[in-house]
């Protein structure tokens, strides 16, 4: 069964599409949706259809920043009662941690992780799309909304140091620079925002503990209404933890706030093992990183958990029937070495 996303994720799609000369109804029907589906923010849409809608809209409008335009129109109040819970948190860090806690009610297909590195904090986001499904616009929409949320709560105290995207840079980066007002890095190793630890831990001037208590009580009453499978949640955790070398069952269990034994039992009930999910995510990430020729083979291996090049090569050969170097060579030949270095996945013969 495919993943689903709340219709609220496409908030302001109709207005942005019309402003760019598109027929929103026609674009929606082109991916198997109808305008009425967007009227109820809780209506569940197939994730793949939503992603295709954004990519198709960007292409047909010749607007490579379609996702950012939707983020620009987004307001904190668009997420409903959750806006009360988030906007009144004590610090920005508390806001982000709370949004992770209630991810099943906000956007079940978006994974987020915070990592403190000395004086910096890396806020990583991952759109959980199936392998091969384009998600450039969805990623920019998600990162754009994250930026807008932080700005709306912290005001002038929100000054990110850089924004990172794993996809290629557009022909012009003017709109990205204008929107984020900081350094924007493309072909990066992760999707997300880097800010200072000092900024993320500053007191929120809007914080109201009483309002947090009211909103949390209401949110708790909704828990379970949109329950997500343990398999999907484990996949999200592995996606976020693997590039930083922490994709172990102990770390994933900790991220899910359950014991290792409980996690193993829940996976057993789903007919899967942690190692099988780990390998599936490793395959998907390996192909993504291999397509980006800015990453050396050694770097690709390290990003999916192999410190030794020989171990990475042995695993890659077993999974794809050829060595990483052979894969890259075939990729280059199959794609005719297009501008920017992006290649199609070539067939590997054993």
- Check if the beta carbon of residue 202 is closer than 8 Å to that of residue 256: no
Looking at the structure, do residues 134 and 195 belong to the same domain, yes or no?
yes
Q: Which residues of the chain have pLDDT under 70?
A: 1-2, 221-228, 335-350
What is the reported pLDDT for 2? 66
> Which residue has 């840079």 as its token pair?
169
Any idea what the CATH number is for the domain that residue 237 is in? 1.10.10.60
pTM: 0.74
Looking at the structure, do residues 196 and 234 belong to the same domain, yes or no?
no
Is residue 1, in this structure, part of any structural domain at all?
A: no
Distance CA(58)–CA(134), nearest Å, equals 12
Looking at the structure, do residues 166 and 240 belong to the same domain, yes or no?
no
What is the reported pLDDT for 324? 95
Strand partners, 126: 111
Is residue 119, in this structure, part of any structural domain at all?
A: yes
Distance CA(1)–CA(48), nearest Å, equals 12
Is residue 239, in this structure, part of any structural domain at all?
A: yes
Provide the residue range defining the domain that includes 171: 68-200
């Amino acid at each position: 069964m495919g993943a689903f996303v709340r219709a609220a994720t496409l908030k302001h799609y109709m207005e942005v599409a019309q402003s760019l000369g598109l027929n929103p109804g026609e674009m929606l029907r082109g991916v198997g949706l109808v305008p009425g589906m967007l009227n109820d923010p809780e209506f569940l849409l197939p994730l793949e259809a939503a992603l295709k809608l954004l990519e198709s809209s960007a292409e047909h409008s010749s607007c490579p920043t379609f996702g950012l335009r939707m983020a620009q129109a987004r307001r904190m109040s668009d997420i409903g009662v959750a806006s009360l819970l988030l906007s009144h948190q004590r610090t920005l860090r508390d806001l982000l941690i709370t949004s992770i806690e209630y991810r099943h009610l906000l956007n079940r297909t978006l994974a987020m992780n915070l990592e403190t590195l000395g004086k910096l904090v890396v806020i990583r986001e991952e759109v959980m799309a199936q392998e091969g499904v384009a998600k450039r616009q969805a990623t920019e929409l998600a990162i754009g909304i994250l930026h807008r949320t932080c700005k709306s709560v912290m005001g002038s105290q929100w000054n990110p140091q850089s924004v990172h995207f794993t996809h290629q840079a557009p022909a012009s980066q003017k709109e990205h620079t204008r929107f984020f007002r900081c350094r924007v890095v493309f072909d990066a190793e992760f999707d997300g925002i880097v800010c200072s630890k000092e900024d993320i831990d500053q007191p929120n001037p809007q914080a109201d503990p009483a309002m947090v208590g009211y909103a949390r009580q209401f949110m708790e009453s909704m828990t379970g209404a949109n329950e997500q499978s343990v398999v999907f949640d484990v996949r999200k955790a592995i996606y976020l933890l693997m590039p930083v070398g922490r994709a172990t069952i102990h770390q994933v269990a900790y991220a899910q706030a359950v014991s290792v034994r409980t996690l193993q039992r829940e996976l057993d009930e789903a007919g899967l093992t942690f190692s099988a999910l780990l390998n599936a995510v490793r395959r998907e990430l390996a192909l993504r990183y291999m397509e980006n020729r800015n990453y050396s083979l050694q770097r690709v291996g390290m990003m999916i958990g192999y410190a030794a090049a020989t171990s990475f090569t042995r695993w890659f050969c077993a999974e794809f029937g050829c060595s990483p170097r052979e894969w890259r060579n075939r990729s280059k030949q199959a794609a005719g070495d297009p501008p920017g270095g992006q290649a199609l996945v070539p067939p590997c013969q054993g």
